């Protein structure tokens, strides 16, 4: 089990480092360790201690749980409150846009259940289309 956890952490360090466009040396400089230390983490020969794991997570803009390959919240998030504008518009919080890959021009389906509340779902291009000239309210 310990080896499996080490493998996940090492794979994640490598993946997040590459995703962030960092060399081993650049990452090492950001957190104050040697390039060889980063190489050992990525090879699964060792793991960062808690303080260094927190620094890695901060550099990558993720949680320590995500660095370790866990989703402690079970995929459920609270992104914060938003205020509805005069025409019903809302601003989707940045973290929500990042988690769900939302970008300008994407479509969201708004769903409602009188007992459970409102939900939104990102639509793929082939799921739903409507006349962009109409004012859907």
Phi/psi of residue 123, each to 5°?
-100, 140
pLDDT-derived band at 80 (thresholds 50, 70, 90) equals confident
pLDDT of 134 strictly over 50: no
Residues in the chain, total:
137
Percent of the chain surpassing pLDDT 70:
82
Q: What share of the chain is helix, strand, coil (3-state, %, to 5)?
A: 40, 10, 50
Q: How far is CA 24 from CA 1, 8, 11, 62, in A?
A: 27, 18, 14, 18
- Mean pLDDT (the chain) is 84
The better pLDDT of the pair 127, 27 is held by 27
First vs last Cα of the chain: how many Å apart? 53
DSSP per-residue letters across 49-105: -HHHHHHHHHHHTS-HHHHTT--TTTT----------TTS-----HHHHHHHT--TT
The better pLDDT of the pair 106, 134 is held by 106
Segment 9-46, tens digit of pLDDT: 898 899 999 989 999 999 999 999 999 999 999 999 99
pLDDT at 1: 42
Domains and CATH numbers, the chain: 2-67 (1.10.260.40), 77-137 (2.10.260.10)
Q: Average pLDDT, stretch 73-79?
A: 67
Low-confidence winner among 4-13, 42-51, 117-126 (lowest mean pLDDT) = 4-13
pLDDT at 55: 94
5 in Cβ contact with 68 (< 8 Å): yes
25 in Cβ contact with 35 (< 8 Å): yes
């Amino acid at each position: 089990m310990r080896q499996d956890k080490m493998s996940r952490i090492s794979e994640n360090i490598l993946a997040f480092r590459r995703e962030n466009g960092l060399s081993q040396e650049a990452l090492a400089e950001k957190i104050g360790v040697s390039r060889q230390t980063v190489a050992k983490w990525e090879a699964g020969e060792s793991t960062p201690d808690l303080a260094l794991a927190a620094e890695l997570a901060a550099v990558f803009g993720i949680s320590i749980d995500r660095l370790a390959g866990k989703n402690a919240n079970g995929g459920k998030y609270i992104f914060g409150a938003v205020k509805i504008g005069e025409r019903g518009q809302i601003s989707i919080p940045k973290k929500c846009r990042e988690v769900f890959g939302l970008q300008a021009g994407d479509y969201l389906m708004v769903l409602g259940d009188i007992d459970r509340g409102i939900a939104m779902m990102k639509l793929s291009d082939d799921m739903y289309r409507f006349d962009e000239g109409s004012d859907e309210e």
